[in-house]
Structure 1
Amino acid sequence: MSATQEATLPFGIDFGGTGIKGAPIDLAQGVFAAERVRIKTPDKSVPEAIAEVFVELLGHFPEASGPVGVTVPGVVHHGVVRSAANIDKSWIGTDADALFTEATGREVHVVNDADAAGLAESRYGAARGHDGLVIVTTLGTGIGSALLYDGTLVPNSELGHLEIDGHDAESRAANSAREREELSWTHWAKRLQTYYRTLERLFSPDLFVVGGGVSKHSEEFLPLLDLDTEIVPATLRNNAGAVGAALYAVERGGR
């Protein structure tokens, strides 16, 4: 890819608890257009500190000048972060679009991390070509979710926080619960069965897509689930956040 072509590409940034990763994104194929760069997430991950990391990250790609999409692990409403379950509480109420746009001098749009993954899987991955209601879930520290109807995102679904049997769903069924309680795949699958059955009763979806790092072990637990809805592992895995964020930035910027 020429420098001229790369300059027109959007940039995707995946903001995580331990690392911040980014690269120019080729949206024609849903892939990184250059090798990604990873920078350690600051210990005090307040918005201003993260903005400085973004400036550093973008500095590695001076030829790329397209819009920037950023994942945030929280509810995002018109660029403003409204929740902070796993990040510093100072994010709540922050106009992240405005903060990062000013800090970087670029057009920046933030999106919930699970929503970004859902967009990527819908456009390029396991949900590509599926009509109707698709629910993408990410099983990690918590449970993220994305609702897509005929490929259109319904943002901030936060289905990991459904109350099931008196518990916040992700406290029992997230991959972190499996690791913390040293559950067998079989025992954990029973909890996932309860979780996904609840989603079936509420939404009657056409497809479940299961993402998160544990999806690479999907053969250990997905066959143990007995559901009416087809359930498949995600295909973009760790690239989904950055790819989906870049896609979101381009589509949001065109409105």
Structure 2
Amino acid sequence: MTSTGPIEWREDRVFVAEAGVQLLRIGSGRPLLLLHGSGGNRAYLSYQEELAKHYEVLAPSHPGFGTSDLPPWLETVPDTACFYLWMLEEMGLEGIDVIGFSLGGWIAAEMSVMCPKVFNRLVLVGSAGLKPAQAEMTDIFLISGPEVLEKMFYDPKQAPEYDKFFGTEPTPEHRELAERNREMAARLTWKPYMHDPRLTGLLPRIKSRVLLLWGRQDALIPLECGELYQAALPNARLKVIEECGHSPQYEKPREFNSIVLDFLREE
């Protein structure tokens, strides 16, 4: 289904395990789940609005991120995956498509390992979850927020919405949310840093089609991690975007959407 009229964002709150989850929606049609990275749920972006011309985009804030509640038992990425499986079950959703960014890609992979039928197709963008053997991952908890932002991009000038979303001084409210997101990301991913030692051995359970999408110059999660995912997944392809860093959805949104939509639509 393709929308031609104006598309508006809607905000809901979904309750799972007595925890409220902030859920942003845009568009209509087949559900497409977006799982954000460790920096939190950035919405109102052009790449999302382009996807919403073809899908109902569902963009939750992970438990403990943004304004979503944190269940007392949730301490790991697999716990987060279990929580989301519960949420999708409550919403009556199965066999949908998902795009996971960085931490969100790791969560999507863990969900699919636990329940292989939950997703029809997966797009993992600069996904964490596996430990590289040769390259090094940047430890985002040992550097400042501005330094993390600098490493996210190969060339911020080619990101059309960079100034709009990253170029202004954050408000006190935004600083508080950013600190909450950083603390929650550290809780989930610091030890062991940004990977699950079990995951490589479990990935062959995922029989769904998987698109692995990486920026060639990703300075946070190196391209080697994409190659490791490709080697472990039975039905995956790796697409590399040249002259691009960790977040192609920001840095090269047109190319990103073209690649993703082609993958999701193909027979």
Higher strand share: 1
Q: TM-score, normalising length from structure 2?
A: 0.28
> Of the two, which has the highest radius of gyration?
1
